[in-house]
Structure 1
Amino acid sequence: MKKGVLLVNLGSPDSPEPQDVKKYLGEFLMDERVIDIPYLARTALVKGIILKTRPKASAAAYKKIWWDEGSPLIVISERLQKGIQKQVDVPVALAMRYGSMTIKKGLQKLVDQGVEEVLLFPLYPQFAMATTETITVLAEELRQASFPHLKIESVPAFYNKPDYIEVLSNSVKKHLEGKQIDHLLFSYHGVPERHIRKSDVTKSHCKMDGSCCATPSKAHEFCYRHQCLEVTRLVAEKLNLQAGTFSTSFQSRLGFDPWLLPYTDRTIERLGKNGIKNMAIVTPAFVSDCLETLEEIAMEGQEIFHEMGGKEFTTIPCLNDDKPFVDLLSHWINTWVTS
């Protein structure tokens, strides 16, 4: 069977104009694994409230970070795909879960090249309902409906793979070289607390009490919170960071339900108020820089820190298409091809 790879990231509007942002947000927020409430309530919330107000503000944010070549997330993902393709002998396609670069189009590109066995590669180090799961579920639905002859194998979360931790740690170290940093903040995309409980395969382990993520359990295979905390722990260990000089937070909350704590914006504010003058922030839930890293962190986060009296705010880029990351993903793919 001829093999091929489909890299999948989140997606982006076609342009930073309000109409395109509205279309994109509508698809994204109507996903039942993103806003996991009953369909009618989700429709009322998204179409009746959010899409009447949010697109204009989001469009303004996208315009701040939009590149001449297009959406940073798309451009970087395309560079990553091209870099990997140079190092592997099987076709590598790129798709997005939301937007015009659909998973169906990506699978079709591979099928058109004679591919019969696909390695589905969600570009997320940690598992989450709203990222990895929604990609794998949709891919299977598409396989059954349009590509019944295809065999699809999904890459699981790679948050704790030693070679990934090595690449991530080296990237952090490189971007902090020569800087005097008082505190390193690991900021991950937030999710509602109920997503953690829903993903608990044991139906009893996750209690969100501060200890369950550190207690061994098969629930950790699908626990986003545990996997985020584990990345922080492993990188801190690799870099020999001292207790109190680093911490974990969660960004990008939406609505009024409880989301994972602590919140990134409030953590940055607290650090500034507590006298931290030089801080750095890394965002390991993202492999490609995007709106959440380039605008929410590098712009809004820096503004909050300076308002609280902070001086130097260092944003560590995502792994993007850095050669060590391209080499790592290419190695994993080549290992799969020859297995």
Structure 2
Amino acid sequence: MKGVLFVNLGSPDSTDPKDVKKYLDEFLMDERVIDVPYLLRAFLVKGIILNTRPKKSAAAYKKIWWDEGSPLIVLSERLQEKVQEQVSVPVALAMRYGNPSIESGLQELANKGVTEVLLVPLYPQFAMATTETILVLAEKIRLKKFPQMSFTELPAFYNHPDYVRVLSTSIADELKGKKWDYLLFSYHGVPERHIKKSDITKSHCQIDGQCCKTPSPAHQFCYRHQCYETTRQVVEFLGLKEGTYSTSFQSRLGRDPWLQPYTDATIESLAHKGIKNLAVVTPAFVSDCLETLEEIGMEGAEEFKEAGGNEFYTIPCLNDREDWIKVLARWVDQWALTPQEA
């Protein structure tokens, strides 16, 4: 029997600093998030970050928390429930960090007799710290707890025509009737070394402005290329004029070089250049979360207006839009149909 497991990032169980600390511990101790030797990672995370960051992060979560709970969890649950209504195979939900866990999601499917699982990391672009860590942990759990199961992985869908169409339509819908001068595509940031570590050719990725435009097998796992390609295809779909859009990266941590240009600096720079009405879309996420609601929707808006801007529009993630639900349901159905049934 076939079934589907959607996997998103995750969230603390509450805005209590203790829950936030527990979540950050699991998140930051992931070797694919902070990819340094274990002892150094433990020193940085447990010895430094977890002594200061939980209270600050808890305060940020409180700003965006809903009555029903974490926006990311609530929106992911709505997505799972709506897709389930449109497909005939069981659909479960899990988070890479926090609850519900990947193990609990697989157990839910196993209890329904599922032996073939379509793993769907809810990230359009592939990255070590997102898609890869989900697939690695899921396989580890499968081997240990569910050896009777087999996995099929949904590839990164950053350039899939269905995704590009739905993302583009969501942007157009949100900006309809609004006066805007510039559209910023803000993607979650990763350290530059992650890009080079993911380069299967071991030589293509130079992060020099040209490698992402030059065809290469490395692009299959290159987060930077996939972000720029998402932007390019959406720009083409919407017919945006040169000079009215750009791409940036947010949420950097530590002193190592991360992907640039940085979103916060870009927002401030655009205001200083005379952009008065700015719209920001966050295509690295399919569900609104702390990074979209607080970092962009609140901090970004404040930075823009303090630098001289007027209107700041945050374009929601795809969340549980009906056209996005239909796309996911169609992808599930295409996988679930065996050749004999097709």
Q: TM-score, normalised by structure 2?
A: 0.98
* 2:239 corresponding residue in structure 1: 240
CA displacement 1:8-35 (0-9 Å, x = unmatched)? 0000000011000000000000000000
Describe how 1:68-83 pairs up with structure 2 within 5 A.
68-83=67-82
* 1:141 corresponding residue in structure 2: 140
In structure 1, distance between residues paired with 2:263 and 2:245: 13
CA displacement 1:20-52 (0-9 Å, x = unmatched)? 000000000000000000000000000000000
* 1:263 corresponding residue in structure 2: 262
The runs of 4+ residues in structure 1 deviating greater than 6 Å are none
- 2:37 is aligned with 1:28: no
CA displacement 1:253-274 (0-9 Å, x = unmatched)? 0000000000000000000011
CA displacement 1:72-131 (0-9 Å, x = unmatched)? 000000000000000000000000000021100000000000001000000000000000
* 1:120 corresponding residue in structure 2: 119
| Structure 2: segments with no counterpart, 5+ residues | none
In structure 2, distance between residues paired with 1:323 and 1:100: 25
- 2:96 is aligned with 1:88: no
1:86 alignment partner, SS class: helix
Aligned residues: 338
1:98 alignment partner, SS class: strand
Shift of 1:133: 0.2
In structure 2, distance between residues paired with 1:292 and 1:242: 27
In structure 2, distance between residues paired with 1:238 and 1:115: 39
Give the AA of the match of 2:287.
S
In structure 1, distance between residues paired with 2:216 and 2:231: 19
In structure 1, distance between residues paired with 2:201 and 2:179: 44
2:86 alignment partner, SS class: coil
* 2:320 corresponding residue in structure 1: 321
| Identity within the alignment, % | 70
Shift of 1:163: 1.0
Shift of 1:181: 1.1
What is the alpha-carbon root mean square deviation over aligned residues?
0.4
- 2:60 is aligned with 1:61: yes
In structure 2, distance between residues paired with 1:95 and 1:144: 18
| Structure 1: segments with no counterpart, 5+ residues | none
* 1:130 corresponding residue in structure 2: 129
Describe how 1:181-192 pairs up with structure 2 within 5 A.
181-192=180-191
Give the AA of the match of 1:156.
P
Describe how 1:102-113 pairs up with structure 2 within 5 A.
102-113=101-112
In structure 2, distance between residues paired with 1:94 and 1:208: 35
CA displacement 1:267-292 (0-9 Å, x = unmatched)? 00000011100010000000000000
In structure 1, distance between residues paired with 2:309 and 2:287: 27
